[in-house]
Every structure is written in C-alpha cells, then in structure tokens.
Amino acid sequence: MKKIILISIFVLSVVACKKTQFSPEGPTEIRIRNLTDQNFTEVVVKTSENDDDIDTLGNINHNEVSDYFRFKKAYTNIEISAKINLGGSMVTFSTGKVNYSYLHYIGQDRITYEVFIPGMDTRELKISNRIIEEPLILK
C-alpha cells in the first residue's frame, strides 16, 4: 500500500511540474544602416564572444542598408568595423571592442543597427539606434 501511495505521489508531482519557458539565444538576423555620407567597404560584424559569430557583410553605400545576416547569438552591443576611402587610402573605422559580460542577448529577432561617424579624426563608428524589426520565424 505504501508503494502505491509513493508511486502515485511521484506521478502527480511529475505531471504537476511546469517547464519554464526561456527565450532562446538565437539565431538573430542583423543588418547595418549606414547613416553617414561615406561608403563602407568590408564591413565586419562580431555579435558575441564566439568566433562563429563574426561575419563580413560586404559593402554598404552611404544612407543605405545591408541585407540581413544570420548569427547564432547576438547581444545588444556588437562590434562593427568598416573601411572608408580617405584621400585614396583605405582607413578602418570601428565601434571598438565590446565586453559581452552582463549583456542581454537579443533572441530570435531581426534587428537593424544604425551607424554613424561622430568625427572623422577619431576613426570611430557609433551605433545611434537599435531597431528590432520583427520576430524571426524559424521553420
């Protein structure tokens, strides 16, 4: 009799348990909007601490948007670098290194990062806005 009671309590406790729904880390689709009057060439994006989350987006002309690129995981802050033609030589501009500790990942979304240059002498890119476009529908 004790065995039946113990088994029934165990079965009821297993059935009553709910699984907590966690938002998955990705994939995330990212595109870059060039808000400057300069053309970006060899745009490289790094979205997390993993080496798999680095991709070259190609060229982005001024005031245009790249295509979406899929990354396994992406955080709210990302590293973006691009080469810009200044006086006939290609100069690399960058947002700089990102410390991914304590950042929240975006999840399964499409997002656009808007990028501008605060000053040509600093060779720095700044992210002015992060626009979550729509949820990513995975099939």
Domain CATH for 62: 2.60.40.2890
Residue 116 lies in a domain: yes
Residue 133 is encoded by which pair of tokens? 């476009």
DSSP state letter for 52: G
Range of the domain at 91: 29-135
Residue 10 lies in a domain: no
Mean of the pLDDT values across residues 24-45?
93
pLDDT band at 70 (very low <50, low <70, confident <90, very high): very high
- Give the other-Cβ count within 10 Å of 64's Cβ: 13
Residue 45 lies in a domain: yes
pTM here? 0.79
Q: Which of 84, 90, 70, 74 is nearest to 115 (CA)?
A: 84
Mean of the pLDDT values across residues 25-49?
93
Residue 3 lies in a domain: no
pLDDT digits (tens, 9 = 90+) for 4-21: 766 666 666 665 655 444
Residue 106 lies in a domain: yes
Residue 107 is encoded by which pair of tokens? 């999840």
pLDDT digits (tens, 9 = 90+) for 53-69: 889 999 999 999 999 99
H helix runs in the chain, sequence order: 2-16
In the chain, what percentage of residues exceed pLDDT 90?
58
Residue 19 lies in a domain: no
Residue 128 lies in a domain: yes
Strand partners, 82: 93
Query: What is the total count of domains within the chain?
Result: 1
Residue 24 lies in a domain: no
Q: Is 109:133 a contact under the CB 8 Å cutoff?
A: yes
